[in-house]
Amino acid sequence: MTAQRVPALRTAVRALRRAGVDTVFGCHGPALRPLYAALADGGIARLRVRHAESAPHMAIGWARTRGLAGVAAVPAGPGAVRVLPGLAVALEDAVPLVCVVGVPGSGGERTAAARDLVRLARPLSKWTVRAEQPARIPWAFREALWIAQEGRPGPVLIELPDEVAAAQTGADGPDAGRHAGEARPYPPAGPAPAAGPERGHPPDVVREVCALFGTENDAYVVGVQDAVRPTDGPGPRRHVIGGRGGPPGWEVPTAIGVRAALAPPGGADRPGMPGGGAAEVVAVIGEHHGFPALAGELALAARYGVPLVLLMLHPALHAPGLAAGDADDAFLTDHVKLVEAYGCAGRRVTDPAELRSAVAWARKEAVSTRRPVLVEVRYDPAERARFGPAAGPCT
């Protein structure tokens, strides 16, 4: 009698579901097609990420909101090295992250790029593994989920050859043992490890804006830590997704991951999540120079219906003490037109009296359009206190 054969990834996907994973943030790549097909068959959504650098940061935002291991997937190649900053952030901030790298070929046909990525990822990961045989795929995923969450959480990397992933193996029995992939929550959206000084965030402006969120509905603030404090107790709460951040522009993909954790893009609320789909997500972008680097993910957010409020802060063009070179870099890009090119909306604020009305407009616009909305604040560093109170951190 011929033994029953099943797709090698079926049990791996089942382990992901048992671990609470319902969304994977993955870039396009032929080597990942078997994984994406298995995810679709197993009822796990995939957000089509545009840049490999964004995938781990979306998964980190999801993980820090849900309190479970986030999953990212990228194809091997020169661009895959861009996942390394995300691995470093997850390692330093103790965020459970599973990064799957799809590799073309099997056996000894590994590309140099794939070999180098695994070598470079080892110092930035708790564990790296190559699934060399179909029968080892379920074990690799269960082990990765366990290690990512065991002890001090952190990132792991799975190298997945496409020919191995597309193969079939013996009938998959029930999951067993300590590596069965069960959900093992860690504290979500809690205090992040101490970070350095806030980069590019005028505290007075941040305090003024953050005071508008978390009063009627739960709010998740991405991109700040020292200037904004989370709130607790009954009623709406303000959650802070801070930590060490990442490369310039990291706030946008991280905020998309937070939003996806609260409610499926364009779908209903997730049960048990504070605020659910009614919760607001605001990303404070302090490094305006780097915003265009990952702004392409706004197209993903517009496509999937991901409402966000983006707050960008930077000095006015003729602000005293602003170096000429900085002014050139900062103002070659019209950020309002940039977000509009991706199907989103934006507004520029130069008058402190317009700040509250602009934020109120952005909040309503994000809900009505289900897309990101930008409020760009240009301030004079010498007079930035006019944008908000000079009191202590927002509470």
Q: What is the pLDDT of residues 115-151, one digit of tens each?
A: 678 888 999 999 999 888 888 999 999 999 999 999 9
Domain residue extents for the chain: 5-170, 203-387
Q: What is the pLDDT of residues 253-307, one digit of tens each?
A: 999 999 999 987 655 555 445 445 578 999 988 655 667 788 899 999 999 999 9
Question: What is the domain class of 203-387 according to CATH?
Answer: alpha beta
Q: Report helix, strand or coil for 118.
A: helix
Grade residue 176 by pLDDT with cuts at 50, 70 and 90.
very low
Q: What angle do CA 263, 280, 182 make, to 5 degrees?
A: 35
Residue 6 or 40, more confident: 40
End-to-end CA distance of the chain: 68
Asked if CATH classification 3.40.50.970 holds for the domain at 5-170, the reply, yes or no, is yes
pLDDT at residue 88 tops 90: yes
Grade residue 325 by pLDDT with cuts at 50, 70 and 90.
low
CB 348 within 8 A of CB 336: yes
Residue 177 amino acid letter: G
Q: What is the pLDDT of residues 354-394, one digit of tens each?
A: 988 999 999 999 999 999 999 998 876 665 555 554 333 34
Residue 216 or 100, more confident: 100
pLDDT at residue 25 tops 90: yes
Q: Report helix, strand or coil for 24.
A: strand
Grade residue 186 by pLDDT with cuts at 50, 70 and 90.
low
Task: Give the side-chain half-sphere CA count within 13 A for 189.
Answer: 29
CB 309 within 8 A of CB 360: no
Residue 106's pLDDT is what? 52
Backbone angles phi and psi of 216, in degrees to 5? -100, -35
- What's the pTM value of the predicted model, to 2 decimals? 0.86
- Judge if 5-170 and 203-387 fold alike in CATH terms: yes
Report the distance separating Cα 21 and Cα 190, nearest Å.
20
Q: Which residues contact 364 (CB under 8 A, 6 or more apart)?
A: none
Residue 3's pLDDT is what? 58
CB 126 within 8 A of CB 91: yes
